[in-house]
Structure 1
Amino acid sequence: MISIILPFFNSEEYLKESIQSVLNQNFHDWELILVNDGSTDNSKDIARSYRDSRIYYFEQENKGVSEARNLGLRNMKGDYFCFLDSDDVLPPKSLKSRLSIFELNPNIHFVDGRVIKMDKTLNITTQEWQPTHEGNPLKDLVSLNGNCFLGLTWMIKRISGKNYQFDTNLTHSEDLLFYMKLARNGGEYSFTDDPILYYRDTPHSAMKNLKGLEHGYRFTGNSIKEWNEVDKKLLKTYQFRYKKAMFLAYLRVFQPINAILTIF
C-alpha cells in the first residue's frame, strides 16, 4: 500500500482538484492522509466531504507544513509513502509508474519521475524537469546540481521501525534536509520517465519567500557539516551553489543589498 500525505492550509481553491487526482489513480491500493493545518476557509468542509474509506482526515492548530507532514507520517500505514501539496496534481499513472521501478531492484529506496510545471490553471506548461541520477543520492543532494531534487517528489520505501520526521525549525529547505537524512542511511535512488507531478506555479509558492529560503539553506549547511559522509570539498560546493542561487534570486527582485549579504 502507498500512503499519500497531503497537508493543507486555506486551500479551498485547489484542494478538491488535488484530492480528485488521487482518486483518479490507476493504482488503487493507497491511503490518503489529509492534514488540516488550522485552516479558516472552506478547506475543512471540502476535505471532510469525501466518503472513500481510503481517505483519512486529521487536523491541528496552525503549526506549519512540517508539523502537518509529521502528523501524517506518524499515522501512515503504507509500505511506501509520498507527499502531495494541496495545490498540485498527480497524473493518473503517478503512483503505479513509481511503484513499478521499485520492483526492478530491491536496493531501490527512493523513486522519482518527471515533473511538469504549469500555470495556475494547469493549462500551460512552463517548464519540465527530468531526474537523471541513479544510485545513492546523498552527494548529489549536497551538490545542489538538480539531478535528483526538485522538491517533495520522491516515493519512499518505508523501513519498519524508522521514525520519519521533518525538522520543524525550517519553513524552507525542510524537504532537502529530510531527503539528505534519508540518503545518509543508505538506499538507492532511481526514476521513471513518466510524469509523476503537475506542479502549479502560483504567486504564493513557498519559493517566493527568499529570506526563509536563505535561512533554510544556511540551517541545512550547518546540519550536514559534521557528517562523515560529507567531506570539506563537497560542503564547499554546497555553500558556493546555494550562495550563488540566493545572490541571483535577490538580484531578480531588485534587492542588491541582500544579494551582497548572502555571500558572507
Structure 2
Amino acid sequence: MSFFFDGEFLKYSIIIPTLNEEKLLPNLLEQLNKSSVKEKYDFEIIISDGGSSDKTVEIARTYSDIVKVYVDKEKQNIAKGRNEGFRFSKGEILIFLNADVLLEDAEKFFAYIEKHFVNSGYAAMTCKVKVFKDEEKLSDMIFHSLYNSYFYMLNLTGVGMGRGECQVIKRKYFELVEGNNINLDAGEDFDLFKRIRKHGNILFANNLCIYESPRRYRKLGYSGVTWSWIKNSISIIFRNRSLSKEWEQVR
C-alpha cells in the first residue's frame, strides 16, 4: 500500500475517519490534545474525511496535524477512509479510532500501550467498548458486557476480532495485509483483524475501555445491530464479502 511520507517516523499515528461528525468529534479531539497527554507521547492526529457537508473539517483543522478530505465518486466507506488516513501517516503504531468515541483515560491508554504492546510480540491490540456513561441504560450494560466477553474469547482462541471503535496495529502488519478491504461496506474491522491474526497474536486489553455513542443502538435497536454484525461476519468468513451494501449513517 502506497503512502505519502518519506521522512522520520513518529511513534504513534491516531487516524480518525469522519463524515458529518461535528457534534461528537470535538470531544475526542479535545481529549487527545490535552497538554499532559500531547506533551508526553509522540503522536500525530490525522482526520480522514469523506466529504462532510457540516463543520467537521473546520473543527478538525483546529485540532489536528493532518486533515485529508477525499471524495470517491463511485462509493465511499469507512474502510477507504481508514486506508486514506494511513497513506498520510508516519507512526510506527497506528491507532484507529471512530469519531464518536472517548477514551476512558487518555493517559492510562497510552501508558498501557507503551508498557504492554509497543515492544511486545503482539501484532495488534483492542479493548473493551461501552456506551457513554451519562447515556448508559441497563440494556447497554448487558449487551456490552456480553459482547466484550465474546470478543475477548475470540482473540483468546485465535480467531481475531477488534471493533473499529478502537484498533491499535503495528505498522508493519497493517502494510503486510495491505490495510482494510475497501470492498467491504460492513464488517471491515472483523476482516482486518482476522487477516492480521494469521501473522501475529492480538492483545485484548481487558482493563482498558473506550466509550462510544449509543446513537446506532437507539435508532436500530440491539437486535438490529446484532443481526447486522452476525450476518456480515458469517458472509466474510465463508464468502469473503459483506452482505450489507452500505453501512447506514446514523448521526
**Same-fold status (TM-score > 0.5):** yes
| CA shift in 2, pair 1:82/1:39, >3 Å | same
For structure 1, which runs of at least 5 residues remain unmatched after alignment? 142-147, 225-264
The answer to which of 163-172 and 75-84 deviates more is 163-172
CA distance in 1, matches of 2:85, 2:42: 17
Query: Of the candidates 121, 126, 132, which is equivalent to residue 112 of structure 1?
Result: 126
Is the contact between residue 116 and residue 195 of structure 1 (CA under 8 Å) also seen in structure 2? Answer: no
* Alignment partner of 1:58 is 2:75: no
Query: Of the candidates 29, 40, 45, which is equivalent to residue 19 of structure 1?
Result: 29
Q: Which residue of 2 aligns with 1:233?
A: none
Q: How does 1:118-157 map to 2 (within 5 A)?
A: 118=132, 122-124=134-136, 126-127=140-141, 128=145, 129=148, 132=152, 139-141=158-160, 148-157=161-170
| CA shift in 2, pair 1:212/1:98, >3 Å | closer
Q: Secondary structure at the match of 1:99?
A: helix
Deviation at 1:210, TM superposition (A): 5.7
CA distance in 2, matches of 1:149, 1:22: 21
The amino acid across from 1:164 in the alignment is E
Higher relative contact order by CA 8 Å / sep ≥ 6: 1 or 2? Answer: 2
After superposition, the C-alpha distances for 1:69-91 in whole angstroms (9 at most, x for unaligned) are 11011121111112111111123
Is the contact between residue 94 and residue 197 of structure 1 (CA under 8 Å) also seen in structure 2? Answer: no
Deviation at 1:174, TM superposition (A): 0.6
| CA shift in 2, pair 1:90/1:118, >3 Å | same
Q: Which residue of 2 aligns with 1:228?
A: none
CA distance in 1, matches of 2:112, 2:126: 10
Query: Of the candidates 204, 209, 221, which is equivalent to residue 238 of structure 2?
Result: 221
Q: How does 1:63-212 map to 2 (within 5 A)?
A: 63-91=76-104, 92=106, 93-102=108-117, 106-118=120-132, 122-124=134-136, 126-127=140-141, 128=145, 129=148, 132=152, 139-141=158-160, 148-159=161-172, 162=176, 164-184=178-198, 186-203=199-216, 208=225
Is the contact between residue 116 and residue 199 of structure 1 (CA under 8 Å) also seen in structure 2? Answer: yes
The answer to which of 170-179 and 106-115 deviates more is 106-115
* Alignment partner of 1:49 is 2:62: yes
Is the contact between residue 123 and residue 196 of structure 2 (CA under 8 Å) also seen in structure 1? Answer: no
> Normalization by structure 1: what TM-score?
0.67
Percent of matched pairs sharing the same residue: 20
Deviation at 1:218, TM superposition (A): 1.2
Q: Which residue of 2 aligns with 1:6?
A: 16
Higher helix content, 1 or 2: 2
For structure 2, which runs of at least 5 residues remain unmatched after alignment? 1-10, 242-251
